[in-house]
Amino acid sequence: MNTNSNTYTVIYTAIVVVIVAAVLAFVSQKLGPMQAANEKAETVSQILTAAQFGDKDSWAEKGNAATLDFYRDNAEAVYLVKRDGSTVRELDINAVEIYSVSELKAQNYKIKADEDFEIPVYLFKNGIKVIPVYGAGLWGPVWGYIAVNPDNRTIAGAYFDHESETPGLGGKIKDDPSFRAQFAGKVIDYTADRPFAIIKGGAKGQANAVDAITGATMTSKGLDAAIVEWLGSYENALGIETLFNAIAGEGKTINDEEE
């Protein structure tokens, strides 16, 4: 057969592509549930890390089951907050219902499109609340979790992740523990134009800002925008302190010693 004729070439490549697509579809269907379970445990471990329950690596060592068990034991409630400030429903803690990254992406779209959103607040038994943020980095999405102390103003910790930022530069939002360590003890200042900021050239001791990553301007800016946008969404929803107080139920007094 003449393997160099046009007809042969076209038919051959078509068949190869169809076979490869079929194999990939089959494998993805078979492995999908296992990958989803891993991703869920990964997300839970990121939330726990942000909330200062141990180090990210330690969760990987303990394994998926231990991570989920710890979450079940320590989570108090997960609320979904709407744009008008009402909480729609609670996520099931025993079933470890959480927002996956793709759900964050969907909600981020709604936030930007001025549609009604349902964004989660993870409340832990020790009073720490974790809220997700999501936005665009340089090459792909960046997202993360910010844990707020029971005083509803100071940040307990944070954890960030990304899809395809450059390793060693933008990838540092995830890989460099000193970047996320900056967040602990910082304050979300709702009276400022930007409640929180990642500043290029250094935060210079500002209470509601951290240093950007050198050599990763776009990633830092993207993460900054994501934080401002999502904090703003929670804030718009109800005023985040009121919201957190409502969730805490105890009516914990707001610390009013602003500056």
Partner 1 sequence: MANSNLKETILNPIFKGNPITVLVLGICSSLAVTVELKGALVMALSVTIVTGLSSLVCSLLRKTIPNRVRIIVQLVVVALMVILVDQILKAFEATYAIDKSLSVYIGLIITNCIVMGRIEAFALGNKPVPSLLDGLANGAGYGMILIIVAFFREILGSGTLFGFRIIPDAAYAAGYMNNGLVILPPFALILLGLIIWIHRSIDKDLQEK
Task: Select from 25-33, 96-104, 114-122, 217-225 the region that touches partner 1 (CB under 8 A).
Answer: 25-33
Residues 186-245 touching partner 1, rule: CB under 8 A, are none
Of the candidate residues 31, 88, 181, 254, the single one contacting partner 1 (CB under 8 A): 31
Q: How far is the CB of 57 from partner 1 (least distance, A)?
A: 8
- Binding flags for partner 1, 129-168, as an x/- string (CB under 8 A): -----------------------------------x--xx
Q: How far is the CB of 28 from partner 1 (least distance, A)?
A: 6
Spatial neighbors of 167 by CB under 8 A, at least 6 apart, are 175
Q: Where are the alpha helices (DSSP H) in the chain?
A: 6-50, 56-62, 64-74, 101-112, 172-175, 177-181, 217-238, 240-248
- CA 128, 134, 137: angle at the middle one, nearest 5? 130
Spatial neighbors of 221 by CB under 8 A, at least 6 apart, are 198, 200, 212
Instruction: Write phi, then psi, for 213 (nearest 5 degrees).
Output: -90, 130
- Residue 187 or 223 with smaller CB distance to partner 1: 223
- Distance, C-alpha 105 to centroid of its chain: 10
Give the DSSP H or E segment for 79: strand 75-82
* 18 contributes a contact to partner 1 by CB under 8 A: no
Residues at the interface with partner 1 (CB under 8 A): 3-4, 8-9, 12-13, 16-17, 20, 23-24, 27-28, 31, 34-35, 38, 41-42, 60, 63-64, 164, 167-168, 171
